[in-house]
């Protein structure tokens, strides 16, 4: 089967301060992955990074949003002089929201583009398969926003700059129990996504640990569109709260159908809710009385985020950066910070430097990579008001 990737190379020339971008169609799966053994080596002069993201397909909002953050970081870094006076090069591959495409893209970036490090993915299921390839070819991979614990458990080359789902699940369980005074909960999980399964499990564990009761644990699969059977079951159980740890497409339909069926309870979710498409599809009204945890609040007035938000808005026609964009921005800068500390363009040295990232001041907070190669960071709880997610609370680890 032929699989085509859109490969985009962005090179910012410091002298001209202009962006040269070229788009090439490349076949990611038919190329020989033996380039490394064939003598090609990563450059020792110019940094080359690979970004893989869902720019099309089911969760296209994840990749397009992250990419804007990564590209802004790249442009700023190169304007400031680049690495050793040379602009950093970035190749971006579209994973089309598919696991096999993510694996193929990563293999190609490592063995043919000869990148020094990888940035990606957003969706945990895609990061998990990509991580196997990064491990196989001993190349550092930094996920901006995959929260499933299995991602970094793949091994010593795999890092992330965000919190993990056991924490995110606990945040929402505590919120349900303590803030919303919920004694019973129903859970509806997407069994096609490692993210959703892991986050649902984490919520169930924490909620029951706090003395709450799960009255129903039901499921669906990505791309389903009719959730009335599950919602009928939920309605019958009369839970105090509903936990829905899915991605925005299905979440939007579930929330809309739930309200149409007269399900009025608070509906809670995690970072996978984040996308403007959620509001477009669900509608403002159904989203009242819903909350989700996230990595950062776009209406924050704090710290390093403020300047970033201004520059991002200026760069992208007034658009507010999503958490994914902010994490993409931070991921690029954390990678470059590690490369600077490594002092040489060597994958092994970069891996070691990434592992010792400490107190890096990002726009999503301070980033320290722990022993498990995860970042320990606080979460925010956002509440929908008039169709806009707005800051509600911060929860520290
Ligand atoms: N945390 C989600 C996952 O691991 C991805 C995600 C991150 C989605 C941030 C939206 C915002 O699958």
Q: Is the CB of 126 under 6 A from ligand 1?
A: no
Residue of minimum CA distance from atom 8 in ligand 1: 272
Q: What is the mean pLDDT of residues 188-207?
A: 98
CB atoms within 10 A of CB 230: 19
> In the structure, how many helices (H) and strands (E) does the chain have?
12, 16
Residue of minimum CA distance from atom 11 in ligand 1: 271
Whole-number Å distance, alpha carbon 317 to ligand 1 midpoint, is 24
pLDDT in tens, 323-355: 999 999 999 999 999 999 999 999 999 999 999
107/18 Cα distance (integer angstroms): 30
Strand 117-119 versus strand 89-94 pairing type? unpaired
CA-based nearest residue to 258, from 242, 240, 279, 272: 242
Whole-number Å distance, alpha carbon 268 to ligand 1 midpoint, is 15
Residue with tokens 């919303």: 180
Q: How confident is the model at residue 314 (pLDDT cuts 50, 70, 90)?
A: very high
Whether 371 shows a pLDDT value over 50: the answer reads: yes
Q: Is the CB of 127 under 6 A from ligand 1?
A: no
Q: What is the mean pLDDT of residues 298-303?
A: 75
Residues 6+ apart with CB under 8 A from 83: 46, 47, 77, 336, 339, 340
Whether 262 shows a pLDDT value over 60: the answer reads: yes
Phi and psi of 390, rounded to 5°? -125, 155
User: What pTM does this model have?
Assistant: 0.91
């Amino acid at each position: 089967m032929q699989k085509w990737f859109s490969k985009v190379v962005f090179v910012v020339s410091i002298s001209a301060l202009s962006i040269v971008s070229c788009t090439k169609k490349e076949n990611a799966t038919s190329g020989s992955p033996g380039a490394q053994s064939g003598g090609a080596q990563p450059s020792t002069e110019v940094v080359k990074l690979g970004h893989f993201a869902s720019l099309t397909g089911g969760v296209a909002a994840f990749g397009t949003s992250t990419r804007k953050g990564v590209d802004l970081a790249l442009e700023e870094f190169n304007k400031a002089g680049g690495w050793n006076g040379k602009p950093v090069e970035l190749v971006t591959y579209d994973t089309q929201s598919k696991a096999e495409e993510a694996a193929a893209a990563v293999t190609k970036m490592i063995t043919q583009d000869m990148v020094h490090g990888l940035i990606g993915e957003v969706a945990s299921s895609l990061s998990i398969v990509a991580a196997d390839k990064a491990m196989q070819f001993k190349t550092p991979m930094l996920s901006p926003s995959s929260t499933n614990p299995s991602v970094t458990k793949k091994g010593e080359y795999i890092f992330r700059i965000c919190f993990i789902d056991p924490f995110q699940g606990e945040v929402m369980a505590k919120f349900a129990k303590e803030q919303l005074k919920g004694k019973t909960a129903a859970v509806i999980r997407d069994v096609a996504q490692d993210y959703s399964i892991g986050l649902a499990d984490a919520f169930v564990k924490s909620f029951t640990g706090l003395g709450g009761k799960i009255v129903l644990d039901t499921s669906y699969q990505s791309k389903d569109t009719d959730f009335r059977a599950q919602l009928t079951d939920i309605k019958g159980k009369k839970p105090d709260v509903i936990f829905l740890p899915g991605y925005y497409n299905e979440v939007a339909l579930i929330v809309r159908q739930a309200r149409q069926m007269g399900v009025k309870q608070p509906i809670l979710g995690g970072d996978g809710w984040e996308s403007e498409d959620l509001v477009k599809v669900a509608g403002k009204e159904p989203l009242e009385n819903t909350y989700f945890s996230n990595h950062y609040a776009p209406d924050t007035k704090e710290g390093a985020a403020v300047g970033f938000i201004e520059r991002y808005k200026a760069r992208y026609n007034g658009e507010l950066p999503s958490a994914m964009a902010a994490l993409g921005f931070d991921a690029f800068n954390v990678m470059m910070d590690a490369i600077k500390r490594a002092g040489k363009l060597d994958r092994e040295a970069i891996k070691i430097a990434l592992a010792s990232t400490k107190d890096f001041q990002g726009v999503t907070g301070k980033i320290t990579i722990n022993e498990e190669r995860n970042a320990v960071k606080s979460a925010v709880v956002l509440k929908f008001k008039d169709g806009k997610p707005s800051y509600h609370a911060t929860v520290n680890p």
